[in-house]
Amino acid sequence: MINSALMNVMTSAALKAGRGLKRDFGEVENLQVSVKGPGDFVTIADKKAEKVIFDELSKARPGYGFVLEEGGIVEGADKSHVWHVDPLDGTTNFLHGLPIFAVSIGLEREGQMVAGVIYNPATDDLFVAEKGHGAYYNNRRIRVAARRDVAEGLIATGIPPLGKAAIHPRFKAELASVMTRAGGVRRLGAAALDLAFVAAGRFDGFWERGLKSWDMAAGLVLVREAGGYVTDADGGTDIFGAGSVCCGNEHIHKQLLDLVKKA
């Protein structure tokens, strides 16, 4: 595990927010059967989790800036540090009672992602990474999978929902291209966990478009520290700017990128 002050700060904020989310997740099941459904309740749970993280991180590291999914950009006096926070990644899963969701916190320093924490409170799975210190899953060091051929690999992706109809045609073409070569394709519904699972060697690769910095920030550090390669979905380095990602070990990353490119 990583014994740094920074990791302690990030982990304790994620665990605290996660405790609230876990309680609220229990409540969602009851609301599922109500006529109104759990929609508003989940929105509140999401915002509450974000406030917990914001308060914890602001207290521990005064002056750092924020990019919050719900609250937007909060400029800090310290211009070299920015937190990227997704308090609840996998909202649709959470809403439907599926235990595949996570808190995701990433830290950017001087334009580089340097630390990430992803925590699923439903399964008590904690993924952490800090630049130069490796990536860990529940205190065990993790590495990306070693498979070299995408034909043997399990590849994760994100299917753009109704609200992102503009990227449906492109996604269909990319999926068609990848599924003709990959061993299997999965869609979990939480990009942060997709990235964490690549870092842990559960998935061999992952690509998705239409993402935001808070979906990817923590996961990028995890994949890199686990020995993986990460670019945007066109092979570029401006991942946040492109809003897309493609990753895996050196071999899978290249093959997946080629398949996506030729779509």
How far, in whole angstroms, is CA 165 from its chain's centroid? 22
Distance, CA of 53 to CA of 233 (rounded, Å): 30
Residue 126 in contact with residue 156, Cβ under 8 Å?
Answer: no
Query: Cα–Cα distances in Å, from 95 out to 92, 181, 183?
Result: 5, 33, 30
Residue 137 in contact with residue 200, Cβ under 8 Å?
Answer: yes
Contact between 45 and Ca ion per CB under 5 A: no
Phi, psi of 67 (to 5 degrees): -120, 105
The contact mask relative to ligand IPD for 209-248 (x = CB under 6 A, - = no) is -xx---x---------------------------------
β-pair partners for 126: 119
Binder of ligand IPD out of 50, 89, 130, 204 (CB under 6 A)? 89
- What residues between 61 and 120 interact with Ca ion by CB under 5 A? 69, 86, 88-89
With contacts defined by CB under 6 A, how many residues of the chain interact with ligand IPD? 13
Distance, CA of 21 to CA of 27 (rounded, Å): 10
Binder of ligand IPD out of 17, 42, 57, 90 (CB under 6 A)? 90
The contact mask relative to ligand IPD for 158-187 (x = CB under 6 A, - = no) is x-----------------------------
Comparing CB distances to ligand IPD, the nearer of 2 and 103 is 103
Contact between 225 and Ca ion per CB under 5 A: no
The contact mask relative to ligand IPD for 37-76 (x = CB under 6 A, - = no) is ----------------------------------------
End-to-end CA distance of the chain: 40
Picking from 30, 217, 15, the residue whose alpha carbon sits closest to that of residue 105 is: 217
Residues near Ca ion (CB under 5 A):
69, 86, 88-89, 215
Residues near ligand IPD (CB under 6 A):
86, 88-91, 158, 189-191, 208, 210-211, 215
